[in-house]
Structure 1
Amino acid sequence: MAGRVVNVFSGVQIELLSEQNARFPIRLQGIELIAQRSGPRRAVQRRLNGLIGGRFVQINTAGNRQQGSLLGFVSWGGSEINLRLVKEGLARVVPEQLDKDRLALYQQHEQAARERRLGHWFGQRPSRSPLPQ
């Protein structure tokens, strides 16, 4: 599926306008926001909007839904945006939404972001233990 991002509702929810002018709510699969307070959550929303707002993106989805939105992996400019948010310390991994290979990659990058105290991991003690499987 492909289309233009016409709304960024949160750091993990967007609205896609397809080439056929159909609108689809999309939730970024395999991640969730770290920040619990509204200020930091809005910062992630602004970051996601800066990355893909108004852009033509590709969505890799198996058609699964969560709270009415299609779960999918968003790609733009040769980058998987879901993973990029994890790498920047703005999102954490949701293991049950990822296949084995993608899970290992996402967990590796989440651990690196934690250790480097990136994004919302800043100010938290870095964890040396592996992430739960």
Structure 2
Amino acid sequence: MFVIWCLLVAVIGILFACGVISKFALFMISVLFYVCDLICVLIWCPFRLIMKNRCCTTCRIFNWDHLMMFSPLIFMGGFFAVSLVVMSAAAWLVWELCVMMYPERFWDHSNAALQCSECTDKLCTQYCRKLRTDP
């Protein structure tokens, strides 16, 4: 999944370097990625089907949102754009290290807090029957 994302960002970078898209377009691509992230969280997530996850709490790419959202800004340059990308890369790296070093914390069979019976997430009602209020 990460390689596919890197290829997409590389294509965006090539288009920017060739002058096909502007800095404003890079910003709007980041905004589009933000909206797509909101859709995945609030409405429907295609990654849940692709990665065969039950919900967001057991998803490997759950904390990749900032890196995915801000990665096109790296081509824009400037302190603020680069600092967003660097901080999101740092957050992604910490997440990935934790997943690799402590996989039991991210597996619902060894961490009871990740099981549907312990779920308190209001957004999870679209997947979890326990939290639904409709009859």
- Shared topology, TM-score over 0.5? no
What's the TM-score bracket when you normalise by the shorter of the two chains?
under 0.3
Bigger strand fraction: 1
Tell me the TM-score normalized by structure 2: 0.26
Bigger helix fraction: 2
